[in-house]
Structure 1
Amino acid sequence: FKSLGKSENKPPEMTLERAVNLLTQDNEETLICAASFIQNQCFQSANAKKMVYYLRGIGKLLKLLDNDSEEVQRVTAGALRNVVYQSNENKMEVKDNEGSAVILQTLKSSRDIETRRQLTGVLWNLSSNDMLKNHLARNSISILTHSVLVPSSGISEGENPKDELLADADTFHNVTGCLRNLSSAGPDIRRAMRECDNLIDSLVYYIRGTVANYQTDDKSTENCACILHNLSYQIESELPQHYTQDFRESRQNLAPDPKALGCFAYRSAKITEHLERQRPLLEEKANPHGIEWLWSPITIRMYLSLVACSVRHYTQEAAVGALQNITAGNQEMTEAIAFTIVQRENGLQHIKKILEEGESDVKRTAISLIRNLSRYQELHPAIVNKVLPEVVAMLPSDDTDLPSEVTTSLCQILINLSQSDMKNVKAIVNQGGLWRIINISNTDNSYGPSRAAQAACVLLQVIWKHTDLHGALKRVSI
């Protein structure tokens, strides 16, 4: 008899084209084999991702997420994650196939940890495309919060044991990475995220846990801090009006009664004047909720702990940046935040550490924060005592290359300090600042004096207004 050759027993060779065609089959093993092949090929090659796009494979993969088999769902999610990674063309194809809704629905219903990891990985990859952020945010924020943030952050521990089984560090990391991208997209998304029940609460709860456990260099902590940084951007102008109204009313309740001066009118008036200089600090609310966390003293302490304990560059920058954002406005709440940071929390000691040891981007953010704080005369003694040497040392000398906007901020800090007290001017001069300021005032660009030079000129004018210092200033500048 005739023996069968090896070629007659060998199954057809798997190719991307064959794998994509097999995605419409009913056999579970065939589907798993095809999706796994696509997953592996797209992990190894950018060309494979292009082939899947041209073969119309993305729509077929999305349909498979609705398959009854948990394993088919798992492998399909992994394939999609690799297919869209660093491929904007494929990300847009997911959008055109209404894929985000399918992915979110599968995430909402699946209880398989690996499937959830892969699906949230797909969403994180999709969220890096600026054109998709608004589309993604429209449907995903609430689902991601309640399906992942709440169970994985630990905020609802003990309330729903079934949901606690869904807690997973990798899934949480993927979702916070996704929300970090979305939170940078604009005011509408920021508003939606601030208003989403338990979103901010979960982020704060998670960070406070890593601070308490000395794990502030955890990658998810960085993501959470960056989301809060973005959500605090332009908070004053975007805040619902009733919050500022409530704060104003509570501040009025704290104000001294002018009628209750008593018999010792002169002494009472002095006490009243002292009370007026002591700006009210933020109220210590035991259980803030939602957006209230963004300006809570608890959150301020949390940011300062991140500055003190974390060595991750982006975590530090996010924490300092959030403090900068919440001190950037002009209303009473902003003022109370500034006084809380400096007077109650002694925050300048941590900012001093950044100016001494931090990376350049974090230092720049810290200077913007100090500029905000320096608008309040009552805080000037603390600023001079804690960080003036570091501020003056950052002023560019002849061989220092510093961005013009940073130099401008440094000059604005010194302008604010110099306007309030001659002692502050003396301190600036004693730190060797005068020569640097004069050098900055002489810099220009092709269009004339730079913004930094203009700020330095204003600073010199403010310094010169202290006539009692003219003799000393002339001696220093000779």
Structure 2
Amino acid sequence: KGGPAPGGWRQPELPEVIAMLSFRLDAVKSNAAAYLQHLCYRNDKVKTEVRKLKGIPVLVGLLDHPKKEVHYGACGALKNISFGKDQDNKIAIKNCDGVPALVRLLRKAHDMDLTEVITGTLWNLSSHDSIKMAIVDHALHALTDEVVIPRSGWEREPNEDSKPRHIEWESVLTNTAGCLRNVSSERSEARRKLRECDGLVDALIYIVQSEIGQKDSDSKLVENCVCLLRNLSYQVHREIPHAERYQETPLAPANNAGPHAASCFGAKKGKDEWFSRGKKLPEDPGADTVDFPKRTTPAKGYELLFQPEVVRIYISLLKESKTPAILEASAGAIQNLCAGSWTYGRCIRSALRQEKGLSAIADLLTHDSERVVKAASGALRNLAVDLRNKELIGKHAIPNLVKNLPGGQQTPAKNLSEDTVVSILNTINEVIVDNLEAAKKLRETQGIEKLVLINKSGNRSEREVRAAALVLQTVWGYKELRKPLEKEGWKKSDFQVNLSSTSRTQGGNSFDDSTLPLIDRNQKSDKKSSREEIQMSTMGPVYLPCPDYSTLNERDHSRTLDRSGDLGDLEPVKAPLMVSS
């Protein structure tokens, strides 16, 4: 690339470079590895050729070489080879025990540049579904013990002066958190192992607190940590040890077809149950206290995922961060924690209100990013199970929820995906069930027009029509609203939609278990975009798009989404290797 080679010399062919990896002189091995890294940079064809020429097992073998210049060069080549459209390269690295070899090298590495290349390679590999559990089984404890805990600044026995401070080795921590973020999306077994990995959750939360303390709420490190915490919060009420001890009997489901004696705080039976819990009625301001379960020892490990401290972290990020992925992950974590009928979910719903978090989430409904809007909608739906939250959300969030629905006169017109529209409709229904004032607000904000349009326009999906019909049925169930609606020209038939027998009641304590933020994904409409990974680098342009999320209760073929962004090399490339012609 740098012009013609000197007379009598030529650049080696790829098979020659791979052969040099096995040469007896270490200097030749290290130069060949560095040159392979250079050749593979943004060149998928060369990466595939290296695999076909059996170069990958040789490079993996060099990871155990005692000299740094050799194993460093080999790891750099593997990092570039593991990044790209050809997923077979990742599989080839895995199949020749590349993950255990990387872990062995990680445990021996003591300098930042080598550790950064190792963790970057693992991050690249972690985007492939079939490699995730191998990383969990072989690399989790090494990444936690060698990188996350020592480089986070978190201490098991904190000193009095051990306050959060500036994070060192930030790029290494970013790689590591990105790798763990990816593998945490795999399955419940992976989430369990990560939650129960000693010190991991503690250090992750400490890192995020430190970054917030340093006024750095938009770093890629924060994004990866918060997305990982969100994944670990998914199904937490079902998956943690002894989960049954926290389960509670939910309040009686609301009658979706027609609320009885509806008020802001539900039907008479709901009030009776509120009394039976030993609570004062929400109308009494003095009743707004949060009774988190009493502890005899400080929370640690996975318990930190659902303590008051983590709620404050998410609220801080919602208020301070400008990064869509961080906003989405914070709202999604809240949505996860508020799913299910369990003690901590009930307490967190109240704590969000006390910490002024409801308005921060409601504000996200106007965000430019659709994924942020959807996450906010899902969080509000689960928060609305709390009766006082339901009243506040009804007063303050209904207008912005309605604005996100298709149709109407607003400009620019909203054109959100089916999943997002259905989420917003479900949230509206959750808020107006047993909440007459919210139903009135829906009518005042042109919500009825949009709902009827969804049902009758003929160009919306069955899921959207069904969700809108449930909201209309709830509205018509309020006898107090029928005359005003009829005066405006609406007919009973506008509110009665024939639903298939498969539709089920959406309102009344139905929880929306949140989504999993997985790996970064292309922002293309084509869902079959090629699986690529993200790699951090120190040179070349860096494109770091926001992550995408996929709902688990949708029948998605993989439950994982990822995205590409071609990033630069790990280091300035050494001079091209020359051989005598």
- In the other structure, the counterpart of 2:68 is 70
Q: After superposition, where does 1:258-407 map in structure 2 within 5 Å?
A: 274-275=279-280, 278=287, 280-283=290-293, 287-342=298-353, 344-397=354-407, 400-407=414-421
Matched, 1:132 2:142: no
- In the other structure, the counterpart of 2:155 is 156
| Matched-pair contact (CA < 8 Å) for 1:200–1:290 | yes
CA distance in 2, matches of 1:146, 1:388: 47
Letter in 1 for 2:379: L
Task: Report the CA distance shift for 1:477/1:209 in structure 2 as closer, same or farther (over 3 A).
Answer: farther
| Matched-pair contact (CA < 8 Å) for 2:173–2:221 | yes
- In the other structure, the counterpart of 2:488 is 476
Q: Which moved more, 1:346-355 or 1:327-336?
A: 327-336
- In the other structure, the counterpart of 1:31 is 29
CA distance in 2, matches of 1:40, 1:297: 49
Letter in 2 for 1:370: L
SS in 2 for 1:282: coil
Matched, 1:186 2:187: yes
CA distance in 2, matches of 1:445, 1:62: 54
Q: After superposition, where does 1:170-249 map in structure 2 within 5 Å?
A: 170-241=171-242, 243-245=243-245
Letter in 1 for 2:369: E
SS in 1 for 2:221: helix
- Which structure 2 segments of 5+ residues have no match? 160-164, 249-273, 491-581
- In the other structure, the counterpart of 2:509 is none
CA distance in 1, matches of 2:342, 2:314: 22
CA distance in 2, matches of 1:332, 1:8: 74
Task: Report the CA distance shift for 1:158/1:235 in structure 2 as closer, same or farther (over 3 A).
Answer: closer
CA distance in 1, matches of 2:444, 2:6: 92
CA distance in 2, matches of 1:117, 1:8: 35
The Cα shift of 1:311 comes to: 1.1
- In the other structure, the counterpart of 1:453 is 465
| Matched-pair contact (CA < 8 Å) for 1:58–1:94 | yes
For residues 368-397 of structure 1, give each alpha carbon's deviation from its aligned partner in whole angstroms, at most 9, with x where no partner exists.
111112223232221123312212222322
- In the other structure, the counterpart of 1:421 is 435
Q: Which moved more, 1:382-391 or 1:98-107?
A: 382-391
CA distance in 2, matches of 1:340, 1:158: 28
The Cα shift of 1:443 comes to: 4.7
1:464 alignment partner, one of 449, 467, 476? 476
Task: Report the CA distance shift for 1:468/1:129 in structure 2 as closer, same or farther (over 3 A).
Answer: closer
The Cα shift of 1:74 comes to: 1.6
Task: Report the CA distance shift for 1:233/1:22 in structure 2 as closer, same or farther (over 3 A).
Answer: same
Task: Report the CA distance shift for 1:94/1:341 in structure 2 as closer, same or farther (over 3 A).
Answer: same
The Cα shift of 1:432 comes to: 2.2
Task: Report the CA distance shift for 1:24/1:477 in structure 2 as closer, same or farther (over 3 A).
Answer: same
The Cα shift of 1:66 comes to: 1.6
Letter in 1 for 2:373: K
CA distance in 1, matches of 2:361, 2:228: 21
- In the other structure, the counterpart of 1:253 is none
The Cα shift of 1:408 comes to: 3.3
The Cα shift of 1:12 comes to: 7.2
* Higher helix fraction (1 or 2): 1
- In the other structure, the counterpart of 2:169 is 168
Q: When the two structures are superposed, what TM-score results if normalisation uses the length of structure 2? A: 0.70
CA distance in 2, matches of 1:9, 1:351: 67
- In the other structure, the counterpart of 1:408 is 422
SS in 1 for 2:340: coil
Letter in 1 for 2:135: L
CA distance in 1, matches of 2:464, 2:215: 41
Task: Report the CA distance shift for 1:167/1:414 in structure 2 as closer, same or farther (over 3 A).
Answer: closer
CA distance in 1, matches of 2:50, 2:388: 64
For residues 42-61 of structure 1, give each alpha carbon's deviation from its aligned partner in whole angstroms, at most 9, with x where no partner exists.
12532322232222221112
For residues 275-315 of structure 1, give each alpha carbon's deviation from its aligned partner in whole angstroms, at most 9, with x where no partner exists.
37657443587942111121111111111111111111111
SS in 1 for 2:433: helix
Q: After superposition, where does 1:31-50 map in structure 2 within 5 Å?
A: 31-43=29-41, 45-50=43-48
Task: Report the CA distance shift for 1:90/1:474 in structure 2 as closer, same or farther (over 3 A).
Answer: same
CA distance in 2, matches of 1:452, 1:101: 48
CA distance in 2, matches of 1:60, 1:43: 19
Task: Report the CA distance shift for 1:143/1:420 in structure 2 as closer, same or farther (over 3 A).
Answer: same
The Cα shift of 1:458 comes to: 3.0
Letter in 2 for 1:367: S
Q: Which moved more, 1:124-133 or 1:150-159?
A: 150-159
CA distance in 2, matches of 1:356, 1:411: 16
- Which structure 1 segments of 5+ residues have no match? 1-6, 249-268
Q: Which moved more, 1:371-380 or 1:223-232?
A: 371-380
Q: Which moved more, 1:194-203 or 1:392-401?
A: 392-401
For residues 399-455 of structure 1, give each alpha carbon's deviation from its aligned partner in whole angstroms, at most 9, with x where no partner exists.
643334433333333333333233332222222222222223325569xx8233233
Q: Which has the larger radius of gyration?
A: 1
Q: Which moved more, 1:90-99 or 1:205-214?
A: 90-99
Letter in 2 for 1:439: L
CA distance in 1, matches of 2:177, 2:138: 16
The Cα shift of 1:272 comes to: 8.6
The Cα shift of 1:138 comes to: 1.2
CA distance in 2, matches of 1:84, 1:369: 36
Q: Which moved more, 1:454-463 or 1:269-278?
A: 269-278
Task: Report the CA distance shift for 1:473/1:284 in structure 2 as closer, same or farther (over 3 A).
Answer: farther
SS in 1 for 2:280: helix
Number of residue equivalences: 444
Task: Report the CA distance shift for 1:281/1:19 in structure 2 as closer, same or farther (over 3 A).
Answer: same
The Cα shift of 1:362 comes to: 0.5
Letter in 1 for 2:301: G
CA distance in 1, matches of 2:457, 2:293: 46
Q: When the two structures are superposed, what TM-score results if normalisation uses the length of structure 1? A: 0.85
- In the other structure, the counterpart of 1:254 is none
Letter in 1 for 2:67: S
CA distance in 2, matches of 1:111, 1:233: 34
SS in 2 for 1:456: helix
The structure with higher relative contact order (CA 8 Å, sep 6+) is 2
Identical aligned residues as a percent: 28
The Cα shift of 1:476 comes to: 2.4
- In the other structure, the counterpart of 1:80 is 78
- In the other structure, the counterpart of 1:432 is 446
| Matched-pair contact (CA < 8 Å) for 1:281–1:340 | no
